[in-house]
Amino acid sequence: MKRNGRTGSGAQRWRCRACGASSTHANDSAARDLRSFVGWLLSKDTQLDMPGQGRTFRRKTSRFWGIWPMPEVVDEIHRVVFVDGIWIACRW
């Protein structure tokens, strides 16, 4: 592949010398962002301590908040109920 100018949005365009096909390449930073998210999650730092007062960190890691860890599959059968709740300190 050889550099062949830029697209209208400013991305580098590449052209194959053999077949003439043109394409662009984007870096996938999902693994790096996940590593940063898990590192923050297991630390004692706050989001305010992150660079940019946490705004950049929240934008880059927003897709990872929806990931729920699944329990490991075991051969034994147990009668277990997983419950998630919020305790509110008000008299409702």
Whether the per-residue pLDDT at 89 is higher than 90: the answer is no
**Pick from 37, 2, 32: nearest CA to 47:** 37
pLDDT band, very low/low/confident/very high, at 91 (cuts 50, 70, 90): low
Which secondary structure element, helix H or strand E, spans residue 60, and what is its range? helix 55-61
Cα-based angle 21, 27, 37 (whole degrees, multiple of 5): 160
Q: In what order do the strands lie in the sheet with 2-6?
A: 2-6, 12-15, 22-24
**Pick from 83, 80, 64: nearest CA to 72:** 80
Whether this model's pTM surpasses 0.85: no
pLDDT digits (tens, 9 = 90+) for 4-56: 999 888 889 999 999 999 998 888 889 999 999 999 989 998 988 887 788 98
Average pLDDT over residues 71-87: 76
Whether the per-residue pLDDT at 88 is higher than 70: the answer is no
Cα Dmax for the chain: 73
Average pLDDT over residues 65-89: 77
pLDDT of residue 74: 75
